Amino acid sequence: MRAYRIAELVVLPLAWGGTILAALQTQRLIGPTTHSICGPWGCGPETGALVAMHLGWMAILGPPLLYLPLRMRLSPRCVGRLAAGLVAVAAAGIGAIVAWQWLAWLPSAGAWARPYIWQRCAFAVVTAIDLPLLQVLGLGMILAVLNRKSLRRGNFAGAARFLPSQPHGSDANVATAKATEETASPALD
């Protein structure tokens, strides 16, 4: 087994798990354990728990979303579509949360709280940690920026030189397999 395969199969998953564990342990590093985000728009969870969950989602989603397109050698067009899809899904989720605040919270809020609708919307988005909308939005934008830079350089994120040149066999084996598939199954028109 080559060193890069050992790193991919052992070292990277261990580092990924350690990063997730470290992200979730940040709740112990942050101040008092009270509802520290309060205002006329409501009270939120403990700051430490909120930060730990946001970092945890980023640690869970970040490495696969940034490494796998590189490892799979996706085309810049495919990576661009992935980035656009991530941004679109996150924007739709954030839009749904904002719409819900306008439709559900605003009519039931007192007259003194209604001027704080945008703070309430931001509060609802930031404290919605069940779905990683902010992380998906951020990772989609990071992927789009890396893809834009790679288009200028001609390779994805400039890191393709660190990957093995033939991840699934030699070109001759792949070409032979494709030729065999084409001759074995006639094209259906």
pLDDT at 109: 86
For the chain, what is the radius of gyration of the CA atoms? 23
Condensed to tens digits (0 to 9), the pLDDT of residues 16-60 reads: 999 999 998 888 887 666 667 787 777 888 888 889 999 999 999
Nearest Cα to Cα of residue 86 among 140, 138, 146, 148: 140
DSSP conformation letters of 28-59: GTSS-SSB--EETTEE--BHHHHHHHHHHHHH
Q: Is the pLDDT of residue 159 over 70?
A: no
Residue 70 identity (one-letter amino acid): L
- The answer to whether residue 172 scores a pLDDT higher than 50 is no
pLDDT at site 126 = 93
**Distance (Å, whole) CA 15 – CA 4:** 15
pLDDT confidence of residue 99: 97
CA distance 40 to 9: 50
Give the model confidence (pLDDT) of 107-144 as tens digits: 988 888 889 899 999 999 999 999 999 999 999 999 99
- Asked whether the beta carbons of 87 and 144 are under 8 A apart, the reply is yes
- Total-model pTM: 0.73
Task: Report the Cα 103 to chain-centroid distance in Å.
Answer: 29
Query: Distance (Å, rounded) from C-alpha 137 to C-alpha 65?
Result: 12
pLDDT at 103 exceeding the cut of 50: yes
Q: What residue spans define the domains of the chain?
A: 3-164
Per-residue pLDDT tens for 61-100?
A: 999 998 888 888 888 899 999 999 999 999 999 999 999 9
